Amino acid sequence: MEQTTVIGLGSIIVAGLTMALGAIAPALAEGRAVAQALASMAQQPDESNNISRTLFVGLALIESTAIYCFVVAMIIIFFNPFWDYVVAQAGG
């Protein structure tokens, strides 16, 4: 197997794993955050405005993790520096 094939195959596999883990972990964290917020609102209905505001900020921060994983996966697939290096070494 040529080096370019190995680099391309490795890039696709790593990008897939990055997106898989980058989607599962934030989804679980968001589910837990919403469950805890609803439990807190049920116990203290007077503070529901503060809890929901804090919840939305927390959900945005959690979701940014998934967005960063997506960006890293796109960089690995489309702007892989190893690909350019291997092609330059191969003389292509």
Q: What is the pLDDT along the chain (92 residues), one digit of tens a residue?
A: 788 788 888 888 999 999 999 999 999 999 999 999 999 999 999 999 999 999 999 999 999 999 999 999 998 888 887 777 777 877 75
Q: Count the domains in the chain.
A: 1
Residue 92 within any structural domain of the chain: no
CB atoms within 10 A of CB 22: 19
Work out the burial of residue 56: count CB atoms within 10 Å of its CB; fewer than 13 is exposed, 13-18 middle, 19 or more buried: exposed
The domain that holds 10 is classified in CATH as 1.20.20.10
The answer to whether position 89 is within a domain reads: no
Query: Which range marks the domain in which residue 18 is found?
Result: 3-84
Residue 61 lies in a domain: yes
pTM of the predicted structure, to 2 decimals: 0.74
Which residue shows structure tokens 């291997």? 86
Q: Is residue 91 part of a domain?
A: no
